[in-house]
Amino acid sequence: MTIDVTWLLNILAWAALFGVGIVPLIISFRVKVRSLRILSLLLGLFAITHGLYHLSEAYGIDLLSDGILEPISVTFLLAFGFYYSKKAGV
């Protein structure tokens, strides 16, 4: 069995994003400050959905990756940016 470089990179990106995304989700359930809870939740959801995008891209499920998960992850990232700029006063 040969491993394609693109497949391997997508699997590594999925593992990294999933591992990184769990931390903000755990923080969002434990922190009491509302703005930090929302920010960490949005960041964690972005990382998890973008990781799932890479996983589905690795296995060639283009409808799921490009049609569903990519717009959802971009939406979470934009929501994070807008909420952060609103709370930071930028």
pLDDT tens digits along 7-64: 999 999 999 999 999 999 999 999 999 999 999 999 999 999 999 999 999 999 999 9
Higher pLDDT, 3 or 24: 24
Q: What is the pLDDT of residue 2?
A: 65
61 Rama class: left (phi>0) / alpha (psi -120 to 50) / beta: beta
Angle, helix 70-88 to helix 34-58, in steps of 10 degrees:
160
26 CB contacts (<8 Å, ≥6 apart)?
Answer: none
* Model pTM score: 0.91
Let me know if 85 is exposed, middle or buried by CB neighbors in 10 A (0-12, 13-18, 19+): exposed
Neighbours of 19 (CB within 10 A): 11
